[in-house]
């Protein structure tokens, strides 16, 4: 089975590496930007590289992608559709809008190919370790064809139904993640103002009902040391939360708690710290409370 993977950035590099480790005949493509070095490293490990998207996909049975936003997915898919072979299955690990994925399914359907939305959760560490959670929507038979490849970079995965359902699942996850991150930051600011010992507090919270993954990752690594350099940049969380707001609006549901959290991510990006960790929104909370 021949596999192509498009986009070897922070997440795509780990995904592609695990596909290669599983023994697949892999061809990779990326823009010749700062992530082109990842293509070169994958080639050193046994992958082939392609200078164009069309070259990468023309012989592939399965095609994976990991890109940053709707515009990138649409651009790459338009080019891939020019050369994709009939019967091929494309899966998209990006986090984008439901409408984008439905549009791409229609695009490839005209070429006799299949398209799955397959966003992931687990971060760069999960991508490198091959333990990502993958949420898949689209044709079931196409999913079964792509399943062995998806399995190579995942710890947990599930077919969630029709196209777009993978993205809907991911956006629910992002709502929970982004809002929880905001509450963790708010709680830690109050604790600091109350002059609590932050390390002792953290140790108690991790074994209490207030514990959460966002608390576990953010407090010791970012909030207590007040160092926010991270690959999990808040501007990407903002992008995902805004997609969640769009989804909520499409189903006629108001989300005031999510909207309140979005304010802090939005303001953080406006103030130039969008490339810092999610938890850097604590700076905005602190400023607005003048602590």
We report the CATH number of the domain holding residue 151 as: 3.40.50.720
Q: 259 and 146 in one domain? A: no
pLDDT, averaged per 10 consecutive residues of the chain (291 residues), comes to 96 97 97 90 97 97 96 97 98 97 98 98 95 98 98 98 98 98 98 97 97 97 96 94 97 97 98 97 94 55
Give the end of a domain, one of 162, 185, 214: 162
Q: 251 and 153 in one domain? A: no
Q: 218 and 155 in one domain? A: no
Q: 176 lies in which domain range?
A: 167-289
Q: 180 and 149 in one domain? A: no
Q: What is the pLDDT of residue 51?
A: 94
Tally the C-alpha atoms within 13 A of residue 89's C-alpha that lie toward its C-beta: 22
Q: 174 and 154 in one domain? A: no
Q: What is the pLDDT of residue 291?
A: 55
Give, for 147, the enclosing helix (H) or strand (E): helix 140-151
8 A C-beta contact, residue 19 and residue 133: no
Residue pLDDT, tens place only, 229-273: 998 899 999 999 999 999 999 999 999 999 999 999 999 999 999
Q: 283 and 246 in one domain? A: yes
Q: 80 and 37 in one domain? A: yes
Q: What is the pLDDT of residue 33?
A: 85
Strand 154-159: give its sheet, edge to edge: 120-121, 132-136, 154-159
Q: 179 and 123 in one domain? A: no
Q: What is the pLDDT of residue 290?
A: 80
Q: 231 and 192 in one domain? A: yes
Structural domain total, the chain: 2
Which CA distances in Å does 206 have to 45, 150, 180, 201, 202? 40, 33, 14, 9, 6
Q: 128 and 202 in one domain? A: no
pTM value? 0.94
8 A C-beta contact, residue 12 and residue 153: no
How is residue 229 annotated by DSSP?
B
Give the end of a domain, one of 124, 147, 162: 162
Give the end of a domain, one of 111, 137, 162: 162
């Amino acid at each position: 089975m021949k596999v192509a993977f498009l986009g070897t950035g922070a997440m795509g590099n780990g995904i592609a590496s695990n596909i290669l480790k599983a023994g697949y005949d892999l061809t990779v493509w990326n823009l010749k930007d700062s992530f082109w070095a990842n293509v070169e490293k994958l080639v050193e490990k046994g992958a082939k590289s392609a200078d164009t998207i069309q070259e990468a996909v023309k012989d592939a049975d399965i095609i994976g992608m990991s890109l940053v936003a709707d515009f990138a997915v649409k651009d790459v898919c338009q080019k891939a559709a020019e050369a994709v072979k009939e019967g091929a299955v494309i899966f998209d690990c990006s986090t984008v809008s439901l409408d984008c994925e439905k549009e791409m399914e229609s695009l490839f359907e005209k070429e006799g190919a299949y398209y799955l939305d397959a966003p992931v959760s687990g971060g760069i560490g999960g991508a490198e370790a091959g333990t990502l959670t993958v949420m898949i929507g689209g044709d079931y038979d196409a999913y079964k064809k792509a399943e062995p490849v998806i399995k190579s970079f995942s710890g947990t995965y599930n077919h969630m139904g029709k196209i777009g359902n993978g993205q809907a699942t991911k956006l629910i996850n992002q709502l929970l993640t982004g809002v929880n991150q905001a509450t963790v930051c708010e709680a830690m600011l109050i604790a600091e103002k109350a002059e609590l010992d932050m390390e002792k507090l953290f140790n108690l919270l991790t074994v209490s009902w207030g514990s959460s993954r966002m608390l576990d990752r953010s407090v010791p690594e970012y909030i207590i040391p007040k160092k926010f350099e991270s690959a999990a940049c808040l501007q990407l969380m903002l992008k995902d939360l805004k997609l969640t707001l769009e989804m909520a609006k499409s189903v006629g549901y108001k989300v005031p708690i999510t909207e309140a959290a979005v304010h802090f991510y939005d303001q953080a990006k406006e103030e130039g710290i969008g490339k810092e960790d999610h938890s850097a929104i604590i700076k905005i909370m602190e400023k607005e409370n003048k602590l």
